């Protein structure tokens, strides 16, 4: 066991939503493996990626998240070549379907029956396994009837090629529609929602997470450190030149959700969040990144937080947020308040008029 891990608290596991599947509190995101489809620099190739996964496992991790579109299959291949030498049943492998895989083929995209089935077959081959633990729809697809998508996913579960289903990057009404149709047609329910969630991006608390709480879906936050901003390594009024945030900061046209432009991140409120994180981190003897991750881990709706790393030091620091210490109720409240998003109508009104309508037999889902 690596010295950095020896003697440290392991990353304990939890349930994925209301399913019976146990996953580690921190999930290793594999978007940094292989040549990335989004031209993000600093990707890991096979040898380095395998070393990173091995360290993650030493920390007690069992949950790896990838997608067919990451490197147009490169990430899945790297995960698969590692998985081939492991005891398969000890690990939970998640992947996704929906994104375009071949620009020259109009049917190689979306959530229609043909593309889903073909994508799953190809993912299984790249991952070198005969089943996917968690298959997630990577985004909504306006072009396909939801019934077609859900019935196809249900067939894949019934034939054993997929164990569980999840969604990613959806609105509240879209997720609620998924929930209702699966109930109406007695299909296998979704158990998770992978959504961007961090101290700078909390919009999903308004609707999607309320659906999750009411229906037992576990949230899997992606971009928990907002492209590196919430690590505390970025200085005010000094656009970074390195890392994911530095890459996007050099070109304002690159304003991805996971890699925001400098103008999108360089706001007074965001710096106030960072200052609060730095104060708490100093008081607890933790890194800013660890406090950022810990805030997410202590949210009841969260099952596991997806972290990405290209260096062992990054991974070790992030994994140390998983267990062995907690933020106090006062620290959580302080972070909640400084990062609190503006509450638009009708949410503010609905929550305000219900603030005194408490009924223990009908608990409020509000975050």
Closest CA to 13 of 104, 98, 97, 92: 92
- Which one of 15, 56, 70, 345 is the catalytic residue? 70
Question: By the 8 A CB rule, do 321 and 290 touch?
Answer: yes
Cα end-to-end span (Å), the chain: 39
Catalytic (active site) residue 197: no
CA distance 165 to 155: 11
DSSP 302: B
Distance CA 245, CA 234 (A): 9
| Distance (Å, whole) CA 298 – CA 322 | 10
Catalytically annotated residues? 70
């Amino acid at each position: 066991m690596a010295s950095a891990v020896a003697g440290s608290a392991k990353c304990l596991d939890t349930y994925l939503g209301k399913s019976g599947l146990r996953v580690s509190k921190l999930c290793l995101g594999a978007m940094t493996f292989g040549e990335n489809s989004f031209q993000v620099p600093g990707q890991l190739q096979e040898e380095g990626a395998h070393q990173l996964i091995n360290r993650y496992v030493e920390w007690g991790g069992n949950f790896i998240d990838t997608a067919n579109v990451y490197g147009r299959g490169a990430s899945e291949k790297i995960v698969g070549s590692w998985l081939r030498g492991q005891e398969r049943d000890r690990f939970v492998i998640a992947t996704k379907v929906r994104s375009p895989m071949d620009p020259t083929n109009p049917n190689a995209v979306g959530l229609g029956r043909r593309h889903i089935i073909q994508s799953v077959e190809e993912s299984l081959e790249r991952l070198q396994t005969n089943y996917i633990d968690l298959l997630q729809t990577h985004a909504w697809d306006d072009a396909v009837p939801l019934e077609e998508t859900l019935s196809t996913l249900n067939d894949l579960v019934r034939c054993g090629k997929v164990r569980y289903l999840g969604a990613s990057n959806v609105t509240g009404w879209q997720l609620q529609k998924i929930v209702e149709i699966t109930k109406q047609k007695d299909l296998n329910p979704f158990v998770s929602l992978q959504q961007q969630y961090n101290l700078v991006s909390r919009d999903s608390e308004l609707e999607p997470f309320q659906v999750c709480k009411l229906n037992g879906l576990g949230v899997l936050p992606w971009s928990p450190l907002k492209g590196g901003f919430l690590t505390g390594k970025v200085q005010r009024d000094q656009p970074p030149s390195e890392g994911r945030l530095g890459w996007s900061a050099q070109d304002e046209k690159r304003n991805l959700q996971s890699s925001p432009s400098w103008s999108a991140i360089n706001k007074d409120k965001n710096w106030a969040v960072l200052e609060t994180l730095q104060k708490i981190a100093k008081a607890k003897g933790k890194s800013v990144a660890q406090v950022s991750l810990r805030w997410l881990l202590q949210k009841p709706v969260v099952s596991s937080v997806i972290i990405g790393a290209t260096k062992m030091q990054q991974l070790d620091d992030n994994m140390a947020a998983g267990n062995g210490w907690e933020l106090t109720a006062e620290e959580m409240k302080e972070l909640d308040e400084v990062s609190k998003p503006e509450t638009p109508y009708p949410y503010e009104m609905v929550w305000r008029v219900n603030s005194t309508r408490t009924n223990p037999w009908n608990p409020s889902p509000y975050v």
